[in-house]
Amino acid sequence: MQLEGTTAVITGAASGLGAATAALLAGRGANVVGLDLAMSIEKAGAPAAGIRYVAADVTSEDDVAAALQLTAGEPPIRLVVNCAGIAPAKRILSSKGVHDLETFQRTLNINVTGTFNVMRLAAEIMAAQEPVDESGQRGLIVNTASVAAYEGQIGQIAYAASKGAVVGMGITAARDLARSGIRVNTIAPGIVATPLLEALGPEVNASLSASVPFPARLARPDEFAQLVAMIAEHDYLNGETIRMDGALRMGPK
């Protein structure tokens, strides 16, 4: 699937993995619509050429539907990348007490329900579009999980549960949408050098880098974006979860 001359919708596009993906896809000729919360968009400032920000809460049916409708009359939506998410850190039991239910529910709502909400509404639009090739391909959805889906660390109970659910949705979504010519793949990043992680300081980042077998460094957001582009261009890749982690297998903490 070619990226040039198509529309790509990216959630969580104002920072981190989403911002890097939006920049790479725009650089390759895609018309990028970046969804994020209004405060995140304001903080990000003016987008680069080829990128348009739209304020939307991924858990809101009305917000996402309205954002997708803004693409009417533009090149067809061929790619959707779900990057929006949160990663709270709390133990089930700690010196501060029991893990609160609200944080757990909120994490699943944003990371799982938000991903599903965008996926279903975008798939409805993709399915109504003309295919791009003789095989009947109409589009691709890339969801973002984490290696925490497999090796959740201490304090990651809510995050690990949510990312495990994203992995679990992948093959089922790919099978559900096969009849519509829509592929679904998932990326499970390891430790990525996002601004939030870099804010922890050089000592913490050096320690994290040393835990990665090879290359012994943190992943870069643009490497995530490169993988998205590779998946888009590899038409036979479907229903798969790809770890991007430098052979890292997370320890308990």
CB 162 within 8 Å of CB 107: yes
d(CA 221, CA 232): 17
Q: What is the helix (H) or strand (E) element at residue 187, kind and residue range?
A: strand 182-189
d(CA 65, CA 15): 22
CB 71 within 8 Å of CB 33: yes
pLDDT of 41 > 80? The answer is yes
Q: Is residue 207 part of a domain?
A: no
Identify the pLDDT of residue 198: 75
CATH number where 58 lies:
3.40.50.720
Q: Which of 53, 150, 159, 236 is catalytic?
A: 159
> Beta partners for 46?
none
- Quick: pLDDT tens for 154-207: 999 999 999 999 999 999 999 999 999 999 999 999 999 987 677 667 887 788
Q: Which domain holds residue 94?
A: 7-194+220-243
Q: DSSP letter for 133, please.
A: S
Q: Is residue 151 part of a domain?
A: yes
CB 79 within 8 Å of CB 18: no
Q: Is residue 101 part of a domain?
A: yes
Q: Where are the beta strands (DSSP E) in the chain?
A: 7-11, 31-36, 51-55, 77-82, 93-94, 97-98, 139-144, 182-189, 241-244
Identify the pLDDT of residue 201: 77
- Quick: pLDDT tens for 4-13: 999 999 999 9
Q: What is the CA radius of gyration of the chain?
A: 18
Q: Is residue 202 part of a domain?
A: no
Q: Is residue 249 part of a domain?
A: no
Q: Is residue 210 part of a domain?
A: no
130: its two tokens: 């003309």
Query: Residues for the chain: how many in total?
Result: 253
d(CA 143, CA 81): 6
Q: Is residue 188 part of a domain?
A: yes
**pTM across the whole model:** 0.95
Q: Is residue 203 part of a domain?
A: no
Total structural domains within the chain: 1
Identify the pLDDT of residue 199: 67
Instruction: Taking residues 49-63, report their average pLDDT.
Output: 97
- Quick: pLDDT tens for 108-150: 999 999 999 999 999 999 999 999 999 999 999 999 999 999 9
- Mark whether 159 is an active-site residue: yes
SS3 34: strand
